[in-house]
A = this chain, B = another copy of it.
Amino acid sequence: MRKRRSLAMNLDAVAEKAGVSTSTVSRVLNNLEIVKSSTRSRVLKVAEELNYHPNLHARSLARGKSRILGIIVSNMENPFFLDIYRTLESDAHAQGLEVVVANTDYRSEQLLASVQLMIGLRVAGLAVIVSEMEEHLIQTVANSRIPAAFYDVGTPQKNITNIRVDYRKGIKKTVSYLNALGHRRMAFVGHHSTLVPISERRKTFLESVHRCSPSAEAKIFAGPDGLDGGRQAARELLESGFRPTAILCVNDLMAVGVMRELREEGLQIPKDVSVTGFDNIKLAEFCSPPLTTNHIPREQIGHIIFQSVLGNGREEYDTGREIVIDPELVVRDSTGVAAKS
């Protein structure tokens, strides 16, 4: 026998003080009905007195599984990720599951560490909402046999569902909306990235513009994600000398950053230039002017993800599929008829 770590309160301590066996205490704490109610209340009283809290690690180990939903996101600063996380969290809590989140900050070594963590924790299900992921890591998850859902990355597999938003549709719709308002010189502000889904957005933008009016001009700008990234991209745009009458942004946060920089330059929105976003975050409604954007149903996405990883199979969305979500244009005050140049 080794040294006894007497500090830690455990089942045995409670059992001893209550004059029963550990199994009985365990059964009481797990609400197994076979315990006589007098015993039950005595045990509960003792547990309370001793300030006992079950060791969750031991529990998970003994049960051979944990009641934890793992969530990996790129960046909680972006309300898009945050909202999905919040939905997942509330779904999980509703089922008595705990949640462990990890941010990757767009750093791949952090992603790796997060995946390892989740597998090490033997999470019951895993949601990965990041913008880039190497094939190799996807395989690691697939091999772990943990039911998982990914956002817009790779192809679905046995235990992995892939969910993506059809940005192409959203971009097309937005472009033709702006075209109808007379815009013939447009810019797209997105992320720097060589990933297929991202570069596809740029391509779609250019094609859409030219399809609407073959003589229209279209240019691409990019920056890091977030308010600052939007601002930075807008700066580059202004310095490039290109003067679009409308700017499509890949998300609302960047759009707000863009608007900030345009205002700085003395431009008025939407009089001088129209701006649109994607996501329809709460801020889109509160910024000035309120932002025209493409609504992406983040709650719905969250629910779908939850269902597909922990939906017990009998649900509509089970693991191993691809699910596509369509955005929807929400018109507010940041867009208007094109300024005559």
B-binding residues in A (CB < 8 A): 5, 7-8, 51, 53-61, 64, 66, 76-77, 79, 82, 85-86, 89, 93, 98-103, 110, 116-117, 119-122, 140, 143-145, 227, 231, 256-257, 259-260, 263, 282-283, 285-288
For the complex, what is the distance from the CA of A5 to the CA of B257, rounded to whole Å?
53
**CB nearest to A145 among chain B residues:** B7
Contact A143 B5 (CB under 8 A): no
Q: Say which residue of B101, B144, B231, B287 sits within 8 Å of A51 (CB atoms).
A: B144
Q: How far is the CB of A68 from chain B (nearest CB, A)?
A: 9
> Closest Cβ of chain B: how far from A138's Cβ, in Å?
13
Q: Is the interface of A mostly helix, strand, loop or mixed?
A: helix
Q: Measured between alpha carbons, how far is A260 from B290 in the docked complex, in Å?
A: 9
- Docked pose: A282 CA to B257 CA in angstroms: 11
- Taking a contact as CB atoms under 8 Å apart, the answer to whether B53 and A120 are in contact is yes
Assess whether A263 is in contact with B282, with CB atoms less than 8 Å apart: no
Specify how many copies of this chain sit in the oligomer: 2
CA distance A256 to B257 in the complex (A): 16
Task: For the complex formed, measure the closest distance between the CB of A234 and the CB atoms of chain B, giving whole angstroms.
Answer: 12
Contacting pair B288 A288 (CB below 8 A): yes
- Taking each of A82, A98, A140, which has the highest tally of chain B beta carbons within 10 Å of its own beta carbon? A98
For A51, the chain B residues whose CB sits under 8 A away are: 140, 143-144
Question: Which residues of B have CB within 8 Å of A260?
Answer: 285-286, 288
Across-interface contacts of A99 in B (CB, < 8 A) = 102
Chain B residues with CB under 8 A of A100: 100
A111 CB to nearest chain B CB (Å): 13
Task: Assess the A77–B82 pair: CB atoms within 8 A.
Answer: yes
Considering only CB atoms, which chain B residue lies closest to A115 in the complex?
Answer: B53
CA of A122 to CA of B57 in the docked complex: distance in angstroms? Answer: 9
Q: How far is the CA of A98 from the CA of B257 in the complex (A)?
A: 32
Q: How far is the CB of A300 from chain B (nearest CB, A)?
A: 19
Give bound CA distance, A100 to B102, whole Å. Answer: 8
Which residues of chain B are near A64, meaning CB under 8 Å?
A: 5, 8
Contact of A117 among B56, B79, B101, B283 (CB under 8 A): B56
The answer to whether A61 touches B55 (Cβ under 8 A) is yes
- The one of B56, B57, B263 that contacts A288, using a Cβ cutoff of 8 Å: B263
Kindly report which residue of chain B lies nearest to residue A56, judged by CB atoms.
B120
In the bound assembly, the distance between CA atoms of A122 and B59 in angstroms comes to: 12
B66 adjacent to A76 (CB under 8 Å) = no
- 18 new A-B contacts, CB < 8 A, other than A5-B64, A53-B144, are A8-B122, A51-B140, A53-B116, A55-B61, A55-B122, A56-B57, A57-B58, A57-B60, A61-B61, A77-B82, A86-B103, A93-B110, A98-B117, A99-B102, A227-B282, A259-B288, A260-B288, A283-B283
